[in-house]
Amino acid sequence: MAKAVDNALASGATLLAEAGTGVGKSFGYLVPVFLSALNKKRTPIVISTHTISLQEQLLLKDIPALQKIIPYPLKVVLVKGRGNYISLRRLRVAQIKAPTLIQSDEFHEQLYNVSRWSLDTKDGSRSDMEFEPDGMVWDLVQSDSSNCMGRSCKDYQRCYYYQARRTIANADILVVNHALFFADLSVRGKGSSLLPDYRAVIFDEGHMVEDVAIDQLGDRLSQGAFHYLFERLASSGKKERGLLAGDGFTAAKQQLHSARAEVDLFFLNIQNWMNSHSGAGSDRTSGAVRDAGHFRVLEKNIVENNITDTLTDLSKKLEDESADLPDEEKIEFQSMADKAVDLGVRVREWLEQQHKGNVFWLELAGKRALRLNLCRAPVDVAPILKEQLFSKDIPIILTSATLSTGGKEGFKAAKERLGIDKAEVLALESPFDYYNQSELYLFKNMPDPASQPREFEEASLGMICKFLEKSQGSAFVLFTSYQFLQRTGKVLESWCRQRGFPLFAQGQGMTRNRMLDEFRASKNGVLLGVDSFWQGVDVQGEALSNVIITRLPFIVPDLPLAQARHEAVQQKGGNGFYDLHIPQAVLKLKQGVGRLIRSSTDKGIIVILDPRILTKGYGKRFLQALPKSRLFVDEVEQPSSGVG
């Protein structure tokens, strides 16, 4: 792998390198990156990851180890988004204005703690805190481009954000996350940038590049964003709080009152439109396609736009009435004015469906009080990535344990989805002995989950209990449906308690990291998880010896983005199911199965309850992608050739 990466860096090629667990992917690209950085300084190389845990592994373990072996001075810098840093000027203003900005005693105490922390923080970023302030408190003090005074700020020289920027400017290697990388790519098209120019990019966890690109190049505008802006200006509670609190600002307050009313009316009209289309189903003549919680919008201007002009007027009033304030206060008003305009522009763009090649939908969100999100996303990011990234004359390396769906054309789907015309490919199997370290259990005699969902669920519950007994807990049970997870959790609650198996179910109020920490510590726990537990989770040793996968992880076909992408493939003459859904599901299954064997000493069982992997023709594509484990079908061991 190191040789392939070295060749790509030297030739400017694009490389897709699939490397199974245990190959040592990070060292496979870090060694040639180090050598390349030593030979060609000035312009940095970017290493982009999806998860914080991998960034920590690189910065705290792998890179320091290599720097001892390759004893040449190289500057490696972790790049964080601007909102991660505190603004000393904004902190000072927030402290002065706290009585009129903050409502609760708890938030006042949090601001005080942030202030104390700011006196001895190392880098001024949130990760340096030992506590987590509420988002509302942090929003008052975070660095923000819309209210930055730049060099005219008296805190400029000691500003943590600008100190970080100066550090970045002299770096040889930049470590970023995918979200920041594609946020930078998005604004570069508008003549701005978040990162300096770079001469090569390494995407570790490369299987997530497409999803993150779609997210960053789209938009999700929440109903709460409007109310948050309004509360920052003037609270709706009994005590007057916010920038407009106190005497004066009469015109701005009046316009704010009008804006609140117009926004409430707008979302009421949206809700009424949704209700009138609640039976739309898949009728594309009605202007909407819906499933539970998602309403795809197929026509422009579904309701009247009464917001954009109102918010523009609010912005103008804020600017006018803050014109004579001191600069430090005026810039806060200007920031709110800019945010008001931005919200209005995004509403207009969504209603008029201005972004070509995007799918537009409404989303219901929130547990207590339902809120609406106006959403859009590019149906196909391949043309965008091709133009803005892969057509550039720089080497780009993507690596992951799951880039190929297997076989001669295994990398074809990834290249098509990312807009890569030409690339070197490399598939390296894991050095682990899967045949002797793992057993794979498949079933022909289970009910079909598509045609017999109730029967499949009932049979699955019995099988889950049976295999949990076999492994004595120490298991992940991975679901594609949160509802099925909840029903299973209720059944297993007393069953696990009787056997002394600690049960951890996603969605019960515990954070993902805490769930994993407690699961590892338990040694015989049972963890029920959906999407986020299929990947990016590393549990070595006896704590995890059983991975049960309930269903093949096909995406929900009725979700607006999935539906639009399916239609796009069909329009090009392809088959949406075979060309889009199956490759995605194969890679997701590989990720789920990959949770089990994380070291050369791990042992355990993989249980896939969905019979379609054996009963459907497409099942071969899933089997082809799995590691070569000992195979049991309906609990009968098969010939020693294994699977995969």
Q: What is the DSSP string of 493-529?
A: HHHHHHHT--EEETTSS--HHHHHHHHHHHSS-EEEE
pLDDT of residue 643: 57
E strand map for 572-622: 604-608
CB neighbourhood size of 521 (10 A): 10
Closest C-alpha to 290, from 361, 380, 367: 361
Region for 555 from its dihedrals, namely left if φ exceeds 0, alpha if ψ lies in -120 to 50, beta otherwise: beta
User: Closest by alpha carbon to 324, among 311, 315, 337, 333?
Assistant: 333
Element holding 211 (H helix, E strand): helix 209-217
- The phi-psi region of residue 2 (left if phi > 0; otherwise alpha if psi is between -120 and 50; otherwise beta) is alpha
pTM score, whole prediction: 0.88
Pairing of the two strands 294-297 and 358-365: antiparallel
Q: Which two tokens stand for residue 132?
A: 């987590």
Query: And the tokens for 202?
Result: 């390494």
CATH of 2-75+171-214+381-428, one of 3.40.50.300, 3.30.1490.20, 3.30.70.100, 3.30.2130.10: 3.40.50.300
- Give which of 241, 204, 230, 202 is closest to 101, Cα–Cα: 241
pLDDT of residue 285: 45
pLDDT in the model for residue 409? 84
Give the residue from 492, 604, 493 showing the smallest Cα distance to 548. Answer: 604
Q: Which two tokens stand for residue 253?
A: 């307050």
Tokens of 369: 């009080």
From the list 423, 589, 426, the residue with the least C-alpha distance to 25 is 426
3-class DSSP state of 373: strand
Neighbouring CB atoms inside 10 A of 369's CB total 8
d(CA 474, CA 607): 13
Helix (H, G, I), strand (E, B) or coil at 367: coil
Burial zone of 33 (CB within 10 Å; 0-12 exposed, 13-18 middle, 19+ buried): buried
d(CA 242, CA 454): 53
> What residues does each domain of the chain span?
2-75+171-214+381-428, 82-163, 219-354, 434-637
Q: Any bridge partners for residue 427, and if so which?
A: 18
For residue 290, give the 3-state DSSP assignment.
strand
CB 208 within 8 A of CB 48: no
CA distance 616 to 350: 41
Q: Assess contact for 431 and 22: CB atoms under 8 A.
A: yes
Would you state the pLDDT for residue 251?
94
* Rounded distance between C-alpha atoms, residue 575 and residue 585, angstroms: 15
From the DSSP assignment, how many helices (H) and strands (E) are in the chain?
A: 25, 20
Separation of alpha carbons 588 and 610, rounded Å: 14
State both tokens at 537. Answer: 């989770």
Residue type, 380: D
Indicate if 434-637 has the same CATH topology as 2-75+171-214+381-428: yes
| pLDDT value of residue 179 | 94
What is the spatial distance between Cα 181 and Cα 49, in angstroms, rounded to a whole number?
9
Split the chain (644 residues) into runs of 10 and give each run's mean pLDDT.
Answer: 96 95 93 89 90 88 92 88 90 84 83 90 87 86 86 88 89 94 88 89 96 94 93 80 84 95 95 80 51 84 96 96 87 93 97 96 76 94 94 94 86 94 93 94 96 96 96 96 94 95 90 89 94 86 94 89 92 91 93 92 96 95 91 89 53
Name the DSSP class of 315: H
Question: For residue 21, how far is the Cα from the chain centroid?
Answer: 22
Q: Which token pair is 504?
A: 């951890």
Q: What is the distance in angstroms between the CA of the first residue and the CA of the last residue of the chain?
A: 22
Could you give the count of Cα atoms lying within 13 Å of 571 in the half-sphere of its Cβ?
Answer: 8
Would you tell me which CATH number, out of the four given (3.40.50.300, 3.30.420.10, 2.60.120.260, 3.40.50.720), belongs to the domain 434-637?
3.40.50.300
What's at 487, amino acid-wise?
R
Q: Name the amino acid, one letter, at 442.
A: L
Q: Which amino acid is at 187?
A: V
Counting every residue written for the chain, the total comes to 644
Going by their DSSP bridges, the two strands 526-529 and 475-478 should be labelled as parallel
Reading the block at residue 389, the tokens are: 């990234």
Amino acid identity of residue 483, one-letter, is Q
On whether the CB atoms of residues 47 and 59 are closer than 8 A, the answer is: no
Q: What pLDDT does 282 receive?
A: 45
321 touches 256 (CB < 8 A): no
Q: Is 633 exposed, middle or buried (0-12, 13-18, 19+ CB in 10 A)?
A: middle
Cα Rg of the chain (Å, integer) = 27
Provide the pairing of β-strand 76-78 with 358-365: unpaired
State both tokens at 609: 């309850």
Contact 513, 533 (CB under 8 A): no
Contact 456, 449 (CB under 8 A): yes
Cα(533)–Cα(549) distance, integer angstroms:
11
Q: What is the model's pLDDT at position 250?
A: 92
Residue 148, classed as helix, strand or coil, is coil
Taking alpha carbons only, the member of 393, 136, 374 closest to residue 241 is 136
